[in-house]
């Protein structure tokens, strides 16, 4: 049985769980469309696709999470994101944008705050 609130990310075949402690998870739909005016002046809109964007944020995080995100970002290619909602597991192919973090403590293997990562569905 899947574990609720489980988020795993990595390259295909090497998915690793992201710690849920201090993590917030947001997903939103984005619409890819084209808008132009016809010769008559009427506005036309063509919907090309509906995709998702994901935002993972940590209030505070240890060095392990930051190291994993750095490794994934430096990989520089498509990643697999697997999200468990209660008992439903959904898998997405995503691209990772540059992420940000702020050092909170430089002792005890490092402590970070404001770690924020955006992923866009391919």
Residue found under tokens 């739909």: 29
Residues 79/11, Cβ–Cβ less than 8 Å: yes
Name 91's bridge partners: 82
**Residue 74, phi then psi, degrees to nearest 5:** -70, -20
pLDDT of residue 1: 58
List of residues 6+ apart from 74 with CB closer than 8 A: none
List of residues 6+ apart from 21 with CB closer than 8 A: none
CA trace torsion 95, 100, 105, 106 (10° rounding): 70
| Domain residue limits, the chain | 7-121
pLDDT of residue 2: 64
Question: pTM above the 0.85 mark?
Answer: no
Long-range CB pairs of 85-89, under 8 A, 24+ apart, other chains included: 85/4, 86/4, 87/1, 87/2, 87/4, 88/2, 89/2
pLDDT of residue 78: 95
pLDDT of residue 76: 85
| Cβ neighbours of 91 (radius 10 Å) | 12
For the chain, 122 residues long, the average pLDDT of each consecutive 10-residue run is 82 90 92 93 94 94 88 92 90 93 76 91 95
Interior angle at CA 95, CA 121 and CA 51, nearest 5: 15
């Amino acid at each position: 049985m899947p574990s609720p609130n489980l988020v795993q990310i990595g390259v295909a075949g090497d998915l690793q769980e992201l710690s849920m402690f201090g993590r917030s998870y947001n997903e939103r739909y984005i619409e890819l469309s084209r808008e132009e005016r016809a010769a008559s002046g009427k506005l036309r809109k063509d919907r090309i696709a509906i995709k998702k964007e994901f935002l993972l944020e940590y209030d505070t995080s240890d060095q392990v999470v930051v190291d994993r995100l750095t490794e994934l970002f430096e990989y520089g290619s498509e990643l697999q994101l697997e999200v468990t909602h209660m008992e439903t597991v959904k898998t997405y192919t995503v691209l990772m944008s540059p992420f940000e973090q702020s050092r909170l403590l430089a002792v005890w293997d490092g402590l970070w705050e404001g770690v924020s990562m955006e992923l866009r569905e391919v």
